[in-house]
Amino acid sequence: MTNAHTIWAKIASALLFVALTLSPPAAMSQQTHWRADYFPNVTLTDQNDRQLRFYDDIIRGKIVSINFIYTSCTDICPLDTAQLRRVQQMLGDRVGRDIHMYSISVDPANDTPATLRRFMRSYDIGPGWTFLTGSREDVDLLQRRLGISPIEPGARLSEHDTSIVVGNETTGQWIRRSAYENPTLLANLLTSRLQNHAPNAGERQSYAVAGQVTDTSPGAYLYRTRCRSCHTIGEGDRLGPDLAGVTASRPAAWLERWIREPDVMLAEGDPTATAMLPRYRNLPMPNLGLSHQDVDAVMTYLRAQDAARARPTGHQ
Ligand code: HEC
């Protein structure tokens, strides 16, 4: 079983690689040989109880992003959803029109259409992004074909592969990215690279912006990759609260513990956390698996941001 999984994952990765390294016309002629046969046409159910076939209804002729989630996940996978939500906001009404987003549950026993709808509400997810559930075998098969490792038998759901796959079914280009990817780069892949045309000026500019990393400290890196999809510092709420001034408004010990294990504090009924939760559509802040050292680095970064904002010149 394990070997078969590994081999399939290898074959799928090799195909992804081939698709990416061939020039577009060659890629197209190659892909047409395996495209329809390669992707299984298994039936999945969406959040509105509609039955959709994977190849015919979900990916055929489309530019898509696909990731795998389960709604009770309290650690890394909420980050995926938050990152993709940023991508969806950047792409605006193109999502659902020429770009389609899909999140597929790896926990069909618990993730019913009603559960998926609730999850979408707590993440405030707009139209054009479909959540799907299906049998475990079908989902395993899809993951293997997309170059994503299915959950090993007996492994915990939290060990699932959180990669995000973006692709253009027509051209056969498929690219796998990590949950920590910059949403701007994902948005650019979906709009320019996978669309098979040269980026226009606006897209080129956002590449430049995405590449602009001014603060290379560990805290800044952690903030960019683990926090920024849900928070801003001084630009208003996202999925979570604006963090401007938080190093002054909360005691340091509370803040450090919250960043390290918010799930435990919520489970213990911490009054501050419990009062905060309903103000954010009952979306609990995920446990991002940060070490004490990581938390120190993030705290240093947040303090520096607050200090910079407090300076009269507003120099940052
Ligand atoms: C998936 C979204 C998400 C991610 C990722 C995330 N947070 Fe949060 N965060 C929230 C939500 C939602 C709340 C408020 C609701 C609650 O009580 O959980 C919150 C609350 C907070 C608070 C409390 C703010 C206050 O006013 O007291 C802090 C501080 C915080 N987050 C810091 C961080 C840091 C630092 C990171 C990155 C290491 C991070 N968060 C990553 C969603 C997120």
Cα separation, 76 vs 297, in Å, equals 19
Kindly state the average pLDDT of the residues 226-251. Answer: 96
Q: State the virtual CA torsion across 103, 104, 105, 106 in degrees, nearest 10.
A: -120
- Interval 206-227: pLDDT, tens: 555 555 667 889 999 999 999 9
- Report CA(262)–ligand 1 centroid distance (Å): 8
Cβ neighbour number for residue 249 with a 10 Å cutoff: 10
User: What is the pLDDT at residue 247?
Assistant: 97
- Report CA(143)–ligand 1 centroid distance (Å): 30
- Interval 253-280: pLDDT, tens: 999 999 999 999 999 999 999 999 999 9
- Interval 94-128: pLDDT, tens: 999 989 999 999 999 999 999 999 999 999 999 99
User: What is the pLDDT at residue 153?
Assistant: 82
Q: Is 250 in the pocket of ligand 1 (CB under 6 A)?
A: yes
User: What is the pLDDT at residue 179?
Assistant: 82
Radius of gyration of the chain (CA): 21
| Residue to probe by mutation, ligand 1, list 285, 292, 294, 295, most atoms within 8 Å of CB | 285
pLDDT at 20 over 80: no
pLDDT at 316 over 60: no
Cα separation, 32 vs 29, in Å, equals 6
- Report CA(285)–ligand 1 centroid distance (Å): 5
Q: Which atom of ligand 1 is nearest to the CA of 283?
A: 12
User: What is the pLDDT at residue 180?
Assistant: 85
Q: By alpha-carbon position, which residue is closest to atom 34 of ligand 1?
A: 227
